[in-house]
Amino acid sequence: MDEYSGGDNERPVRYAARQPILAADETVMGYKLLFRTDVVSHFAWNNSEGTSRTAIEISSLLGLNVLCDNRLAFIHCTRDVLLEDYLSFLPAAKVVAEVGGEVAPDESILKAIHELKRRGYKIALDDFTIDDPRAPLLDLADFLTVDIQQTSWEDILRLTRSYGNQSLGLLAENVETWHEFEHALKAGFHYFQGFFFRRPEMMSTRGIPSNRVTYLRMLQAVSRPEMQWDEIEDLIKKLAALYYRLLRYLNSAAFGIRGEVRSVNQALTILGENELRRWCRLAGAFELSGERPSDLVLAALVRARFGELMQDHVEHGAADLFLLGLLSLMDAILQIPMSLVIDGLSLDADSTVMLVDNAGPLLPLYRLVWALERGAWGAVVRACDQLGLREEDVAESFSSAMGWAQSMTSEA
């Protein structure tokens, strides 16, 4: 399924995963992209016209702005990608070419990288090690990446001491815990790739921030089977930022309403029950995210939309898969235990056990979600088999969810 096999109607399964890269202050500066098949497999046709057509297609189909939320895209490059100049189809200002450890720095590679630099691409030496044979490329590099799971801390410190004072961005890869993040930061790294920030820190010592309690009450109110409109109107009136966002949304040209919407009551009448539930959940997620990394709300929106797209394809009982996805990272966003996040929310038992204990009948679906996020393609295949899903449908739904989430955040 990973290659074109000749016919125009046959399509490969196109999966793409993005792994966030953060600066020391936890702002997202880019994403490491992982494809189900590498760039060569996507671009490899037997003639130059086919190569160009496929390259342009993959760029427009996946879209770097969608995949990377308008941030830098770190793309692993093999020797063939560099020598055949496949990256020329992607915008130089958005791309960091990651030169893999398997790429020998011979004269042809040096020439190719010089040309990429001339055109404005950034260069990263991926999985750099002590006595790395790619050392001749250091003068051309913008980033050095070090896999902290595969490198001893002794070697890590040697690397950061050797290159930390140069004009290089030192990137620690596969940072999975806050403890590892703190050690890497002290060691001298500037950037950090991994999912450590999606895990709440010191949750037992924290309570719900007082200014966010009302937002959680609103999520609770719109999650009840029977909504109390007066209660929701009162809650929105108490939330100035939400009130403003609602009126701006309804008075935008995109909504197409004649005349100006001035009151919450009028807004609720126009929206209707289903649209109100959705809008309050989305707006609440944005406001609750506060200063936490932008990837958290983006990932929560992807999970929510992907769950919504999967509702007709998987058994989910009484669970609202959109709401489940939205809540699934709320403990990391608020830095409180999930039990406090959902306290008082009208959730079904399956959703509750999934959110609190990562268990229950919805776990297979979330194993699929986690595998998609991490680019663990073998686990994706196994999860699809277990759930009885077609890989083509899952790939399309996940790509669609990423596009939808990016469009939501860009309008926020």
Q: Rounded to an integer, what distance in angstroms lies between the CA atom of residue 381 and that of residue 383?
A: 5
**CA–CA gap between residue 24 and residue 68 (Å, rounded):** 19
Dig out the tokens for 89 from the structure: 């189809």
pLDDT digits (tens, 9 = 90+) for 64-105: 778 888 899 998 888 888 888 888 878 899 999 999 898 999
pLDDT in the model for residue 123: 97
Every domain of the chain and the residues it spans: 16-198, 210-411
Nearest alpha-carbon partner for 83 in 41, 123, 22, 40? 40
CA distance readout (Å), 345 to 220, 225, 226, 288, 328: 5, 11, 13, 16, 13
Q: In whole angstroms, give the CA distance from residue 244 to residue 248.
A: 6
Q: What is the pLDDT of residues 104-160, one digit of tens each?
A: 999 999 999 999 999 999 999 999 999 999 999 999 999 999 999 999 999 999 999
| Residues 16-198, CATH architecture | Alpha-Beta Barrel (3.20)
Place of tokens 């797209």: 309
Question: Global pTM?
Answer: 0.81
| Distance separating alpha carbons of residues 34 and 372, to the nearest angstrom | 10
pLDDT tens for each residue of the chain, 412 residues long: 333 333 344 445 567 888 999 999 889 999 998 877 544 444 444 443 333 334 334 444 557 778 888 899 998 888 888 888 888 878 899 999 999 898 999 999 999 999 999 999 999 999 999 999 999 999 999 999 999 999 999 999 999 999 987 789 999 999 999 999 999 999 999 999 998 888 876 554 455 555 577 787 888 788 777 888 888 888 888 887 778 778 877 776 556 666 677 788 888 888 888 888 888 888 888 877 776 668 888 999 999 999 999 999 999 999 999 989 989 998 888 888 888 888 877 789 999 999 999 999 999 999 999 999 998 989 999 999 999 999 989 999 998 999 888 887 775 4
Closest CA to 329 of 309, 310, 307, 314: 307
Tokens of 7: 């016919």
